[in-house]
Structure 1
Amino acid sequence: MARRIALITGASSGIGEATAQRLLADGYVVYAAARRLGRMQALAQAGAQLLALDLTDDASIVAAVDAIRQAHGRLDVLVNNAGYGSYGALEDVPLDEGRRQFEVNLFGLARLIQLVTPLMRAQASGTIVNITSIGGKMHEPLGSWYHATKFAVEGLSDCLRMELAPFGIHVVVIEPGAIRTEWSGIAQQSLLRYSGHTAYAAQATAHARMLAASDTSKLASAPDVIARTIARALRARRPRTRYAAGGGARTILFLRWLLGDRAFDAVMRMAEKGLGGATTHRSR
Structure 2
Amino acid sequence: MAQQQVVFLTGASSGIGKETAVILHNAGYKVYAAARRIECMQDLQDMGICVVFIDLLQEESIRLCVESVMQKEGGIDILISNAGYGFYGAVEDTPLESAKAQLEVNLFAFAHLVQLIAPSMRAKGAGKIIAVSSIAGKVWTPFGGWYHASKFALEGLCDSLRLELKPFGIAVIIIEPGGIKTDWGIIAARHLREISESGAYKQQCEHYARALEQTYQGSSLSSPSLIARTIYQAISAKIPKTRYLVGFMARPMLYAKRLLGDRLFDAIIAYAWGKRW
- Contact map agreement 1:3 1:28 (CA 8 A) in 2: yes
Q: In the TM superposition, what whole-angstrom CA distance separates every residue of 1:12-38 from its partner, at most 9, and x where no partner exists?
A: 011111110110111100000000110
Amino acid in structure 2 at the alignment position of 1:145: W
Q: Which residue number corresponds to residue 59 of structure 2? A: 58
TM-score when scaled to structure 2? 0.97
Q: Which residue number corresponds to residue 170 of structure 1? A: 171
Equivalent-residue separation in structure 2 for 1:43 and 1:237 (angstroms) = 28
Q: CA deviation at 1:235?
A: 1.0
SS in 2 for 1:78: strand
Equivalent-residue separation in structure 1 for 2:25 and 2:254 (angstroms) = 31
Equivalent-residue separation in structure 1 for 2:32 and 2:10 (angstroms) = 9
1:270 to 2:271 alignment: yes
Equivalent-residue separation in structure 2 for 1:198 and 1:19 (angstroms) = 41
1:4-23 matches, within 5 Å, as 4-23=5-24
Equivalent-residue separation in structure 1 for 2:44 and 2:208 (angstroms) = 34
Equivalent-residue separation in structure 2 for 1:256 and 1:243 (angstroms) = 17
Amino acid in structure 2 at the alignment position of 1:97: S
Equivalent-residue separation in structure 2 for 1:216 and 1:189 (angstroms) = 14
Amino acid in structure 2 at the alignment position of 1:123: K
Amino acid in structure 1 at the alignment position of 2:165: L
Amino acid in structure 2 at the alignment position of 1:22: I
Q: Which residue number corresponds to residue 230 of structure 1? A: 231
Name structure 1 gaps, 5 residues minimum.
280-284
Q: In the TM superposition, what whole-angstrom CA distance separates every residue of 1:161-197 from its partner, at most 9, and x where no partner exists?
A: 0000000000000001010112111101110000111
RMSD: 1.0
SS in 1 for 2:146: helix
Q: Which residue number corresponds to residue 124 of structure 2? A: 123
Equivalent-residue separation in structure 1 for 2:270 and 2:254 (angstroms) = 16
1:22-41 matches, within 5 Å, as 22-41=23-42
Equivalent-residue separation in structure 1 for 2:185 and 2:270 (angstroms) = 19
Equivalent-residue separation in structure 1 for 2:178 and 2:89 (angstroms) = 20
Q: CA deviation at 1:217?
A: 3.3
SS in 2 for 1:199: coil
- Contact map agreement 2:94 2:195 (CA 8 A) in 1: yes
Q: Which residue number corresponds to residue 192 of structure 1? A: 193
SS in 2 for 1:254: helix
Q: CA deviation at 1:218?
A: 3.6
Q: CA deviation at 1:205?
A: 0.9
Q: In the TM superposition, what whole-angstrom CA distance separates every residue of 1:199-234 from its partner, at most 9, and x where no partner exists?
A: 101111111111112213343011000000000011
Equivalent-residue separation in structure 1 for 2:52 and 2:6 (angstroms) = 14
Q: Which residue number corresponds to residue 282 of structure 1? A: none
Misfit runs of 4+, over 4 Å: none
Equivalent-residue separation in structure 2 for 1:255 and 1:67 (angstroms) = 45
Q: Which residue number corresponds to residue 210 of structure 1? A: 211
Q: Which residue number corresponds to residue 69 of structure 1? A: 70
Equivalent-residue separation in structure 2 for 1:224 and 1:27 (angstroms) = 17
- Contact map agreement 1:76 1:120 (CA 8 A) in 2: yes
1:106-145 matches, within 5 Å, as 106-145=107-146
Q: In the TM superposition, what whole-angstrom CA distance separates every residue of 1:50-105 from its partner, at most 9, and x where no partner exists?
A: 11101111111011111111111121111101111000000100010001111111
Q: Which residue number corresponds to residue 154 of structure 1? A: 155
TM-score when scaled to structure 1? 0.95
Q: CA deviation at 1:46?
A: 1.1
Equivalent-residue separation in structure 1 for 2:81 and 2:204 (angstroms) = 31
- Contact map agreement 2:133 2:177 (CA 8 A) in 1: yes
When the two structures are aligned, how many residues end up with a matched partner?
A: 275
Equivalent-residue separation in structure 2 for 1:83 and 1:200 (angstroms) = 25
Amino acid in structure 2 at the alignment position of 1:60: S
Equivalent-residue separation in structure 2 for 1:164 and 1:101 (angstroms) = 26
Deviates more, 1:220-229 or 1:246-255: 246-255
**Percent identity, aligned pairs only?**
47
